[in-house]
Amino acid sequence: MEQHQRESLSAPQLAAIQRSITHGRMAMTRRSLLRAGSLGTLALGGLGTLAGCGIPAAARSESGPSDDHSDEEKQIVFSNWTEYIDTTDDGKHRPTLEAFTRRTGITVKYTEDINDNVEFFGKVKPQLAAGKSIGRDLICVTDWMAGRMIRLGWMQKLDASNLPHAYANLSAQFRSPDWDPGRAHAYPWTAIPTVIAYNKKATGGRRVDSISQLLEDPELKGRVGMLTEMRDTVGMTLLDMGKRTEDFTADDYETAVARLQKAVDRGQIRRFTGNDYINDLDKGDLAACVAWAGDLMQLQADNPAIDFTIPEAGYIIATDELLVPSGARHKKNAERLIDYYYEPKAAAELAAWINYVCPVDGIRPELAKIDKDLAANPLIIPDREMSSRAHAFRSLTSEEETAFEDKFAKLIGA
């Protein structure tokens, strides 16, 4: 079977991505997606392209050192998500990027042109598949898409000699993703934990700290929310069953879905949600739910009844990743920028603005200079115990993803 056939997106995969775009991970508050309507149009166009023709076979002619113009051209083109970097209140300056330019003389053309993983993929796919440059030296996409692009041969291997801080300071929990062994192609920009959130008024002050409690506690019946993102909901359930999400089997998956189905049939689960759980949790219509940590910091600031727990069984964590595409003109410059964000001072400034888990060790003293509360927050700097409970959802084959998403869609009534 040719690679483009293996990499085509099935109907269940497309449906799952559409859910994610409208109110799932891709529409999280960290993205500030005010343009949901226009995004839907863009994304559906990209999805149609992917569904119609599949993904072309990979272009394997990665750019070599002779193609790198970093020494004579002191510049970088960096594509990222919206509102995903430190910015001054007037929106005119990005302090960490400006500090990098002052130090190195390398200017950064920073563009916020990634609205969601699939729409961006559809935009750059034709050039990358043809072995052409996409006019970008650095991109940021979510881990599952990073793995897909690496698998297709479209991302360059990084030169470790240009990444001393990244190599030394990358937190242990992010060092060995199965989709990029040895971190040959990518380094995380930030990480997104999936946790349990609850409204203390709605629970009568009771703590909610396990998936078993969500699925079985009669006091919570009809007031539980689970996510429409398969990796988060099934992943958290697998962990609660004592399974490792890094190496679970198809039978494990079936058992987890069956367990969730029983909770649906009993009326334990009120509904499956995207990030629209925020309003229901705030009002107490949901007593407890599976939630994304980044949503909770602002929610807690507005409502002191909101709290969260990290299950003893563990939690799912995803990452957004920095990669250098094939054909990039300024690979070494891009590597220097990646490495810069693994220096504790720059990493702390970025974390203070983004408010997500920072993948860089040693930032606590620098972050404390900015905000002591943030430096003590485990949702930004996980302590050793929390880090030990973090689990990634393993990479899936195309066949697995189709089968798993189809079963999950039936579970949530999508």
pTM over 0.95: no
Distance CA(55)–CA(257), nearest Å, equals 30
- What three-state secondary structure class fits 119? helix
What DSSP character marks residue 82? T
What is the dihedral angle through the alpha carbons of 322, 324, 325, 328, rounded to the nearest 10 degrees?
140
pLDDT at 380 over 50: yes
Distance CA 173, CA 247 (A): 16
CA angle 312, 320, 109 (to 5 degrees): 155
For the segment 359-381, the average pLDDT, to the nearest whole number, is 95
pLDDT at 19: 57
Distance CA 222, CA 215 (A): 10
Q: What gap in Å lies between CA 168 and CA 413, rounded to an integer?
A: 46
Residue range 12-19: mean pLDDT, rounded: 62
Instruction: Compute the residue count for the chain.
Output: 414
Spatial CB neighbours of 130, under 8 Å, sequence gap ≥ 6: 56, 59
What gap in Å lies between CA 347 and CA 161, rounded to an integer?
20
State the Cα–Cα distance between residues 177 and 143, nearest whole angstrom. Answer: 9
Backbone angles phi, psi at 347, to 5 degrees: -65, -40
71-75, 115-119, 352-356 — which is least confidently predicted? Answer: 115-119
Percentage of residues in the chain having pLDDT higher than 70: 84
Structural domains in the chain?
75-191+318-382 (3.40.190.10), 192-317+397-412 (3.40.190.10)
